[in-house]
C-alpha cells in the first residue's frame, strides 16, 4: 500500500481535480429554483429554543419507517465557519440502548411539522443518545452554492484556466529521491468537514458511514480501511440483498427517513455507503447531514437501500444494510450534506479483469463499474484488482505475474502495460498493492492531469500468476574490445545470475553510428528502471509536460519497455536545452551560454542515448557501466551532427 501511495502522491503533485459534470449546466441552473424547498417548510436556526420537542424518522429494519422522539437541548452557533449545530436528545426506537447509530446520518427531525435538520453528529461511548443535528436551512444553502460553483468552474475549464506542470511516475522505483514529490502541494478541498475530534466540539464526530462491501477479499477490505477510515468511512464485509427483497422493493422510493445508498463500485464486486434521506423536493434529494468525502461537485449512483438489522456496540452502533436499485445521481457532496437528483443515469467507468492462477487453471473474468471521481478511482481500482486475484485462493509466496492492462481513452491511442513481474516485492500481504499499484498510478495521472480533460472509456486487465521467482541480477559486464570503430557494434557480454539458478552469459550488441565522435565514452547495461530513469534525465520535458502529447508520451515511455530485457545505453553529445518545459534542440554554443547565464530561466540540457534492448527469459534487476573508446580510421573525417 505504501508503494501505491508513493506513486499516487507523485501523480497528484501540483495538479488540480477535474470535476465530473452530472447534468448539463443549463439544466442544473434552471431547475434550482423549482427544486428548492419553501423556506416556510423548515426552521430558521435562530428561532429554535431549548426544550422544544419533535419527532424524527428513520428505518431500523427493512424499509419500514419508524418514528423517534427529539428534544432540543441547545443551538451551537458557528461551530465551523457558516455552520451551526442543533443539539438534540433522542428517544425511542431503542436508541436509549443502542445510542446514535451509524447509518442514521440524515434522519430528519421535525418540530410542529416543520423540518429542523438531519441527525449527523455524535459522541463515541456516550451514555445518552445526544445527537448533533445539521440545520436543513444550511443544507439547502450549501447545495445551492455548490450548483453555482459547478457552473463557474465549468466556465473556467472552458477558458483553459489552471494549467500547471505535473510530475509523473508510474513505478515508485523510478522516483529520484532528490526530486521534490510535493505530496502536500495539492490544494485542500474547500468543503472540509468538521473536526473529527477534540477542540471545542469535545469529541463530537460526524456519524461514520457504513460501507457495505460485497465480494471484496479481506486484503482488499484492509486496503479500503486504510484509505477510507480517515475520511469517516467504515468498510465492512456484507452482501447484496436477497432476490426476493430486490423484487419486493423494486418500486421502493426515496422519502424522508428511508435508507439512502451511494454506490462507488457496482458489479461482481460492490461497495456502497449507507445513510438516510433527509428531504425530497421534486426531483432533488438531500441526505446525510454531513459530507461523504467533501468532494463538492461529484457524480455517484444514488440508490434505495435495505436495512437488515442494527448491530449494537459499546462505541457507536451501526446499521447493516444493502443497496437496492439505482434511482438517480448524487451530484453534490458539501460540508453540510449530500444531494442528488432522481432520474439521471450515473456515468461510471467499466473495468474488467481476467485472472488465471496456475498453468492448468481456468481463467475467470470479473466485471465492475467504478465511479469516475478522481480522488476515489485509484484506490477503488486497486481494491477491485486485489479482490480479483484473492478470489482465486491463496497465492504462492514466490510468484511470477504476467500482467497486461489496456486503458482505452477517448480521442487517444490506448495506453497498454504488458509486462512480467517477479521478486519478493510481489509476494506476501502487500504483493497485490505492489503489482497493481502502477495501474492505479496510471489512472490517477490520467484523471488528474492539468492539461486537458481525459476520459477513460474502459480498463481491461489480464493477469496470469504462476509459482516461482524468475528474477536474474546483472552480475558483471565485459566488452569484446575496449575500442570500437564508428559504424561497427559495441559487443558486450552480460553475466546474469538467476535466482536459484546457474549463471548465464548474454551477448548484447549496440550499433555505433558511422558519424559518432571519437574519444572516451561510457556504456550502461541496466534493467528497465535504470533505462527509464536515464531517458527522463535526458529529456526533462518528460518529467514536466506542458502539452497533452508530451504528457501521453511520458506515460508510454514508462509503460512500453519490458522488465524481461537488458538495456544498453551510450550517451550522445548534448543536443540542446529544455527551458520551462519546452525543448530547444540543436542550439549553437552561444545560445546555450546565453540561457545558462540567466538565473531565472534554469535551463536543463537535452541529451539522447543510443539504446538497445536484448530480451531474456528473466525479470532483470541491477545495472553495470564501463568505459570504452571510439576510434575511427585516420583517413575518415566524418563529424557528429
Q: Report the pLDDT value the prediction gives residue 606, as an integer from 0 to 100.
A: 63
**CA torsion angle for 218, 224, 226, 231 (degrees, to 10)?**
-150
Residues 6+ apart with CB under 8 A from 329: 22, 23, 299, 300, 301, 302, 340, 341, 344, 345, 346
Nearest to 293 by CA among 339, 323, 338: 338
Higher-confidence residue: 5 or 505? Answer: 505
Q: Which tens digits make up the pLDDT trace of 31-85?
A: 445 568 999 999 999 999 999 999 999 999 999 999 999 999 999 988 877 788 9
Q: Is the predicted pLDDT of residue 224 greater than 80, yes or no?
A: yes
Choice among 133-142, 204-213, 584-593 with the minimum mean pLDDT? 584-593
Mean pLDDT of 181-206: 43
pLDDT in tens, 454-498: 999 999 999 999 888 999 999 999 999 999 999 999 999 999 999
- Which three three-digit cell numbers place residue 129? 443518545
- For residues 80 and 153, the answer to whether their CB atoms sit within 8 Å is no
pLDDT value, residue 31: 43
CA angle 457, 209, 237 (to 5 degrees): 75
Q: Show the cell assigned to 436.
A: 497493481
The sign of the torsion formed by the CA atoms of 338, 342, 348, 352 equals positive
Q: For residue 180, give the 3-state DSSP assignment.
A: coil
Backbone angles phi, psi at 121, to 5 degrees: -130, 155
Place of cell 442528488: 340
Dump pLDDT digits (tens) for 395-441.
777 889 999 999 999 999 999 999 999 988 887 777 888 899 999 99
* pLDDT for position 30: 40
Give the residues across from 421 on adjacent strands: 401
| Helix/strand/coil percent split, the chain, to 5 | 25, 40, 35
Cell digits for 525? 547495461
Q: Is the pLDDT of residue 257 over 90?
A: yes
| CB 201 within 8 Å of CB 79 | yes
Q: What is the CA radius of gyration of the chain?
A: 29
Tell me the per-residue pLDDT of 138-162, one tens digit each, with 9 for 90 and over. Answer: 999 999 887 777 666 554 443 433 3
Comparison of pLDDT for 315 and 30, the residue scoring more: 315
Retrieve residue 44's grid coordinates: 430558521
What is the value of pTM for the model shown? 0.82
Nearest to 534 by CA among 174, 260, 97, 75: 174
Distance CA 107, CA 117 (A): 8
Alpha-carbon distance of 222 to 228, in angstroms, equals 10
| pLDDT for residue 12 is more than 50 | no
**Contact, 388 vs 464, CB < 8 A?**
no
- Helix (H) / strand (E) element for 345: namely none
Distance CA 363, CA 340 (A): 39
Cell of 151: 457552473
| Residue 621 CA from chain centroid, whole number | 29
For residue 230, what pLDDT band results from cuts at 50, 70 and 90?
confident
What pLDDT does residue 20 have? 36
pLDDT for 191 beyond 90: no
Whether residue 27 is predicted with pLDDT greater than 50 in this model: the reply is no
| pLDDT, tens digit, 9 for 90 and up, residues 343-402 | 999 999 999 999 988 777 788 999 999 999 998 999 999 999 999 988 776 677 788 999
Output the pLDDT for position 577: 52
Q: Are the C-beta atoms of 423 and 468 separated by less than 8 Å?
A: no
Q: Which of 111-115, 132-136, 356-360 has the lowest mean pLDDT?
A: 356-360
- Residue 103 · residue 275 · CB < 8 Å: yes
In this prediction, residue 206 carries a pLDDT of 86
Residues 6+ apart with CB under 8 A from 374: 17, 18, 444, 447, 448
- The predicted structure's pLDDT at residue 197: 36
The pLDDT of residue 544: 81
User: Each residue of 282-307: b (16+ CB within 10 Å) or e?
Assistant: eebbbbbbbbbbbbbbbbbbbbbbbb
Higher pLDDT, 287 or 429: 287
Query: What integer pLDDT is reported at residue 553 of this predicted model?
Result: 92
> How many CB atoms neighbour CB 528 within 10 A?
24
Please give the mean pLDDT across all residues of the chain: 81
Sign of the dihedral through C-alpha 551, 553, 557, 561: positive
The mean per-residue pLDDT over the stretch 238-267 comes to 90
Nearest 5°: the CA angle 71, 74, 78 is 135
E strand segments, 124-269: 130-135, 204-206, 209-214, 233-237, 259-267
- Does pLDDT of 11 surpass 60? no
pLDDT at site 82: 75
Amino acid at each position: 500500500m505504501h508503494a501505491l501511495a508513493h506513486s499516487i502522491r507523485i501523480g497528484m503533485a501540483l495538479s488540480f481535480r477535474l470535476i465530473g459534470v452530472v447534468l448539463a449546466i443549463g439544466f442544473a441552473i434552471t431547475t434550482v429554483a423549482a427544486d428548492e424547498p419553501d423556506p416556510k417548510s423548515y426552521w430558521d436556526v435562530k428561532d429554535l429554543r431549548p426544550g422544544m420537542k419533535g419527532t424524527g424518522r428513520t428505518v431500523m429494519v427493512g424499509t419500514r419507517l419508524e418514528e423517534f422522539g427529539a428534544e432540543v437541548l441547545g443551538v451551537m452557533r458557528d461551530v465551523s465557519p457558516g455552520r451551526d449545530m442543533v443539539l438534540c436528545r433522542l428517544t425511542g426506537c431503542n436508541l436509549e440502548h443502542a445510542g446514535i447509530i451509524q447509518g442514521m446520518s440524515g434522519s430528519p427531525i421535525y418540530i410542529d411539522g416543520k423540518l429542523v435538520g438531519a441527525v449527523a453528529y455524535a459522541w463515541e461511548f456516550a451514555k445518552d443518545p445526544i445527537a448533533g443535528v445539521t440545520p436543513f436551512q444550511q443544507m439547502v444553502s450549501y447545495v445551492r452554492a455548490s450548483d453555482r460553483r459547478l457552473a463557474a468552474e465549468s466556465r473556467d475549464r472552458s477558458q483553459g484556466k489552471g494549467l500547471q506542470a505535473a510530475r509523473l511516475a508510474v513505478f515508485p522505483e523510478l522516483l529520484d529521491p532528490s526530486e521534490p514529490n510535493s505530496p502536500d502541494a495539492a490544494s485542500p478541498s474547500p468543503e472540509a468537514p468538521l473536526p473529527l475530534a477534540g477542540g471545542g466540539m469535545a469529541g463530537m464526530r460526524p456519524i461514520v458511514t457504513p460501507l457495505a462491501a460485497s465480494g471484496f477479499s479481506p486484503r482488499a477490505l484492509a486496503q479500503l480501511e486504510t484509505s477510507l477510515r480517515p475520511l469517516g468511512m467504515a468498510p465492512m464485509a456484507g452482501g447484496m440483498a436477497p432476490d426476493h427483497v430486490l423484487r419486493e422493493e423494486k418500486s421502493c422510493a426515496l422519502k424522508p427517513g428511508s435508507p439512502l445508498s451511494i454506490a462507488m463500485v457496482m458489479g461482481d464486486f460492490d461497495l456502497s455507503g449507507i445513510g438516510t434521506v433527509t428531504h425530497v423536493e421534486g426531483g432533488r434529494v438531500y441526505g446525510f447531514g454531513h459530507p461523504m468525502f467533501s468532494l463538492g461537485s461529484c457524480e455517484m449512483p444514488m440508490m434505495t437501500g435495505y436495512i437488515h438489522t442494527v448491530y449494537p456496540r459499546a462505541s457507536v452502533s451501526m446499521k447493516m444494510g444493502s443497496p437496492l436499485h439505482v434511482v438517480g445521481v448524487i451530484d453534490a457532496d458539501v460540508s453540510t450534506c449530500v444531494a442528488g437528483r432522481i432520474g439521471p443515469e450515473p456515468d461510471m467507468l467499466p473495468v474488467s479483469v481476467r485472472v488465471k492462477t496456475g498453468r492448468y487453471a481456468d481463467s475467470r473474468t470479473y466485471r465492475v463499474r467504478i465511479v469516475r471521481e478522481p480522488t476515489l478511482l485509484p484506490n477503488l481500482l486497486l481494491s477491485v484488482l486485489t479482490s480479483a486475484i484473492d478470489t482465486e485462493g491463496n497465492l504462492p509466496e514466490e510468484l511470477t505475474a504476467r500482467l497486461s492492462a489496456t486503458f482505452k481513452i477517448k480521442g487517444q491511442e490506448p495506453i497498454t502495460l504488458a509486462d512480467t513481474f517477479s521478486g519478493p516485492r510481489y509476494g506476501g500481504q502487500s504483493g497485490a498493492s505492489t503489482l497493481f499499484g502502477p495501474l492505479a498510478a496510471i489512472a490517477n495521472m490520467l484523471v488528474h492531469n492539468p492539461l486537458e480533460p481525459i476520459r477513460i472509456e474502459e480498463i481491461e486487465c489480464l493477469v496470469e500468476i504462476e509459482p516461482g521467482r524468475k528474477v536474474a541480477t546483472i552480475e558483471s559486464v565485459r566488452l569484446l574490445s575496449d575500442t570500437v570503430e564508428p559504424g561497427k557494434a559495441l559487443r558486450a557480454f552480460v553475466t546474469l545470475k538467476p535466482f536459484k539458478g546457474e549463471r548465464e552469459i548474454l551477448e548484447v550488441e549496440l550499433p555505433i553510428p558511422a558519424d559518432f565522435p571519437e574519444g572516451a565514452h561510457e556504456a550502461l547495461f541496466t534493467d528497465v528502471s535504470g533505462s527509464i530513469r536515464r531517458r527522463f534525465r535526458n529529456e526533462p520535458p518528460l518529467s514536466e509536460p506542458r502539452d497533452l502529447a508530451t504528457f501521453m508520451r511520458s506515460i508510454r515511455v514508462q509503460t512500453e519497455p519490458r522488465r524481461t530485457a537488458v538495456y544498453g545505453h551510450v550517451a550522445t553529445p548534448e543536443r540542446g536545452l529544455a527551458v520551462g518545459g519546452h525543448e530547444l534542440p540543436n542550439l549553437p554554443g552561444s545560445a546555450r551560454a546565453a540561457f545558462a547565464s540567466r538565473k531565472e530561466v534554469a535551463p536543463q540540457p537535452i541529451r539522447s542515448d543510443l539504446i538497445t534492448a536484448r530480451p531474456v527469459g528473466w525479470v532483470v534487476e541491477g545495472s553495470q557501466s564501463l568505459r570504452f573508446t571510439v576510434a575511427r580510421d585516420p583517413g575518415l573525417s566524418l563529424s557528429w551532427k
